[in-house]
Chain A
């Protein structure tokens, strides 16, 4: 998100999901689309049926890669090298969109210098993809009339995550594939309301609609709307900074709403220790998750089926959530819980319904200003929707008019991932999802059909590695990184190449995040889930 915002002025998916059907080339990188965003895969399958070309780059050969016109398996963490290689080819062959670059972008020269220095040979050596394939990737992408880029956590969950994203933005601007239907750079949000959590100011530096906490105007506006004298102007701590803050005795209390960091965060043992150290841990959830078990106080909220409200999906579409049944037991509406705490604390809140809260949001958030529950009957609205009559915005940056003014090229050199393999830890492990589960499994593993489908975690291992280790399908294996160790079942498959293993992260019994590396991207603060060195041993 930070990467796209820096390049274009907005961090959201640039185009609508259904527009993928209008693309004539789709480039998927670091997204297991058919598993993680199945209904996006639907549109991609349709585009292929209509004759579009699909190109896929992923260390793991996932389902949708089988439909690719060209699939390349690059080494985990080498995205920038591969992409810069592609751009080298595009510049060499003179198939860039020079008019678009001249009219709508800036800092192209600095970017070009980096690419000029880089060679195709280096790109190939680093990424493990042949020069021929890199050339082909470049040609197919650059020669399309409308080319879309689709990416997910495979791009962002690296110490270089922000650079990876900026590099994708470079690629789209270099070929003018942005600002029209069926093009763009499209991050698929991993979780249902990530977009909404960000839009609503669930970030340390901004209020709703990305209005900065440090700028006088927004700060004053919000102070007035919320009836307080002043609001803090110092940017707050990010999640990893809060964890360090706990260690340094600066942070004493944490309130966790609906999240399960003990399972979802890297280096789980460390997270657990930090939370245990707190003076006050408040957890608001619907299940007694491993995180809730550490709490001083646990507040029972309700599930989406028991509440009214809105979600904002990955294409910035705001849609309604409606209450289907009454809350179970004495559980309470999550908004009411916050209001109750606030009133007990001494800051008065008197909302009668989520709709009243939404109207307040629309009042102080320009991109949501035209949205109301009434207008959300029907298909919903895509923000920005600045006024009551505005139809919403399916794709951003129309005709090269970027949200930030001009699109910004970034000069980005390849940097290797934070963790390398060595003699002791010779395998690269990457993590991801399986089709029947979601996130830390709190919900899906309490669903009988989904639990039946995939009841436990497993490690994907290449047949050649399995032979070397003398292990067969379904057997147990011990896997350790520099931070922890787990035991798990093995699934032998050539979806992963030799030397690389894959493990889904939904299972608390085989919590792969005991192993993952908490090294963060310096800007987006996203940990490096996707690359971690491990050793394997028959258990």
Chain B
């Protein structure tokens, strides 16, 4: 039996409430608000209380998809990565680094946003990085 509560931060609004994701034997079973979270002090809104639910949705993507004959098909990681790398190299060579753009995200972590703009700037060589938070 493996019962855990993992302390984390709500992924919805900008309040950044602290909560525990409750799991039993590797499956999420619930959400518990953290009493000592400085913003929420043991409280959550309806979204926070249910934040564990979408995670195990049957509609989650589980494999990379690549468009072949106009349809998206499941492929291996290697195939997807090679495809991206060669296309990006080609476009950079043909049209220059500024032909590539990146949408960073308010939904992923700081570390991931950092890495994306690092890739854009250091590897591709463009400052075409923006996020959808204007929206």
Interfacial residues, chain A to chain B (CB-CB below 8 A): 17-18, 36-40, 42, 157, 188-205, 207-208, 213, 222, 226-228, 231-232, 234-239, 242, 245, 250-259, 261, 264-266, 279-280, 282, 285-288, 292-293, 295-301, 303-307, 309-315, 317-326, 328-332, 334-335, 338-342, 344-347, 349, 351, 354, 357-358, 360-361, 379-380, 435-439, 443-444, 446-450, 453, 524-527, 529
B residues 18-74 touching A (CB-CB < 8 Å): 18, 21, 23, 26-28, 36-40, 43-47, 49-57, 59-67, 72
Q: Closest residue to A378 on the B side, CB-wise?
A: B36
How far, in angstroms, from A244 to B87 measured CA to CA in the complex?
A: 22
Bound-state Cα–Cα, A238 to B128, Å: 7
In the assembled complex, how far is the CB of residue B120 from the closest CB belonging to chain A, in whole angstroms? 8
Given known A-B contacts A261-B103, A322-B6, A200 and B113 have beta carbons under 8 A apart? yes
Q: Which residue from B8, B53, B122 sits with its C-beta under 8 Å from A448?
A: B53
A-B pairs, 3 with minimum CB distance: A329-B62, A313-B16, A236-B127
CA distance A239 to B118 in the complex (A): 18
- Collect the chain A residues with CB atoms within 8 Å of residue B128's CB: 204, 236-237, 242, 251
Q: Which B residues touch A195, using CB under 8 A?
A: 14
On chain B, the number of residues with a Cβ less than 8 Å from chain A's Cβ atoms is 97
Checking B60, B112, B113 against A328 with a beta-carbon cut-off of 8 angstroms, the contacting residue is: B60
Given known A199-B110, A203-B130, contact A192–B14 (CB-CB < 8 A): yes
Q: Is the CB of A438 within 8 A of B13?
A: yes
Q: Which residues of B contact A347 (CB under 8 A)?
A: 119, 122-123
From B62, B98, B117, B130, contact of A238 by CB (8 A):
B130
- Complex CA–CA separation, A152 to B103 (angstroms): 22
- Asked if residues A189 and B39 are in contact (CB atoms below 8 Å), the reply is no
CB < 8 Å: which of B55, B107, B111 contacts A259?
A: B107
Query: Do B101 and A37 have beta carbons less than 8 Å apart?
Result: no
List 9 A-B residue pairs with CB atoms under 8 Å apart, sorted by A's residue number.
Answer: A189-B14, A190-B13, A201-B129, A226-B118, A253-B88, A280-B87, A295-B65, A300-B61, A354-B109
Among A42, A199, A228, A264, the residue within 8 A (CB) of B43 is A42
> Is there a chain A Cβ closer than 8 Å to B85's Cβ?
yes
List residues of chain B with CB within 8 A of the CB of A339. Answer: 115
Contact call B91/A446, Cβ cutoff below 8 A:
no
Give the distance to chain B from A539, nearest Cβ to Cβ, in Å. 28
| B101 with A255: CB separation less than 8 A | yes
Known A-B contacts A42-B43, A197-B105, A321-B8; the reply to A349 vs B53 at CB < 8 A is no
| B residues neighboring A (CB under 8 Å) | 4, 6-18, 21, 23, 26-28, 36-40, 43-47, 49-57, 59-67, 72, 77, 80-85, 87-89, 91, 95, 97-119, 121-123, 125-135
Question: Which residues of the partner chain B approach A252 to less than 8 Å between Cβ atoms?
Answer: 91, 95, 99-100
Task: Determine the chain A residues whose CB is within 8 A of the CB of B77 once the complex forms.
Answer: 330, 332, 340
Interchain CB contact under 8 A, B8 and A324: yes
Q: Could you tell me the distance between the alpha carbons of A199 and B118 in the complex, rounded to whole angstroms?
A: 13
Query: Is the CB–CB distance between A335 and B111 below 8 Å?
Result: yes
CB < 8 Å neighbour of B100 from A251, A310, A321, A446: A251
Report whether B38 and A258 are in contact in the complex, using a CB–CB cutoff of 8 Å.
no
Most chain B Cβ neighbours within 10 Å, of A313, A357, A444: A313
Give the distance to chain B from A192, nearest Cβ to Cβ, in Å: 5
Q: Provide the residues of chain A in CB contact with B87, threshold 8 Å.
A: 253, 279-280, 296
In the complex, what residue of chain A is closest to B94 when comparing beta carbons? A252
- Please give, as numbers and ranges, the residues of chain A lying within 8 Å of B60 by CB-CB distance: 286-287, 300, 303, 328-329, 331
Q: Are the C-beta atoms of A304 and B8 separated by less than 8 Å?
A: yes
Given contacts A265-B135, A335-B115, A527-B135, contact A191 B27 (CB under 8 A): no
User: Which of B13, B46, B55, B116 counts the most A-chain CB atoms under 10 A from its CB?
Assistant: B13
Q: Are A198 and B28 in contact (CB under 8 A)?
A: no
C-alpha spacing A381/B4, complex, angstroms: 25
Contact indicator B7/A322 (Cβ below 8 Å): yes
Decide if A253 touches B134 in the complex (CB within 8 Å): no
- C-alpha gap A487/B76 in the complex (Å): 41
* Residue from B15, B17, B100, B104 in contact with A257 in the complex, judged by beta carbons closer than 8 Å: B104
Q: Report yes or no: A338 in contact with B115, Cβ–Cβ below 8 A.
A: yes
Nearest chain-A residue to B87 (Cβ)?
A280
Nearest chain A CB to B130 CB, angstrom units: 4
Cross-chain contact of A190 among B14, B39, B82, B105 (Cβ < 8 A) = B14
- Is the beta-carbon distance between B112 and A309 smaller than 8 angstroms? yes
Given A192-B16, A254-B102, A328-B56, decide whether A39 and B40 contact each other with a Cβ distance below 8 A: yes
A196 to B107, CA, bound (A): 9
- A226–B121 Cα gap in the complex (Å)? 9
Contact A203 B131 (CB under 8 A): yes
Q: How far is the CA of A151 from the CA of B26 in the complex (A)?
A: 40
Q: Identify B13's interface contact among A191, A280, A449, CB under 8 A.
A: A191
In the complex, what residues of A have CB within 8 A of residue B100's CB? 251-255
Asked, given contacts A197-B106, A200-B110, A379-B38, whether A190 binds B133 with beta carbons under 8 Å apart, the answer is yes
Cα distance A312–B105 in the bound complex, in angstroms: 13
Cβ–Cβ < 8 Å partners of B38 in chain A: 18, 317, 379-380
State whether A446 touches B47 (Cβ < 8 A).
no
Q: Using A39-B39, A341-B88 as known contacts, list a sample of 18 further A-B pairs with CB atoms less than 8 Å apart, ordered by residue number in A.
A: A193-B110, A197-B113, A201-B129, A203-B130, A232-B125, A251-B100, A298-B72, A305-B6, A305-B8, A315-B16, A321-B109, A328-B55, A340-B77, A360-B114, A361-B114, A443-B12, A446-B53, A449-B53
Q: CA separation between A261 and B105, bound complex, in Å? A: 11
Q: Are B91 and A280 in contact (CB under 8 A)?
A: yes
A444 / chain B contacts, CB cutoff of 8 Å: 12, 47, 54
Minimum Cβ distance to chain A for residue B44 (Å): 8
How far is it, in angstroms, between the C-alpha of A357 and the C-alpha of B130 when the chains are bound?
20
- Asked whether B46 lies within 8 Å of A450 as measured between CB atoms, the reply is yes
Provide the residues of chain B in CB contact with A331, threshold 8 Å. Answer: 60-62
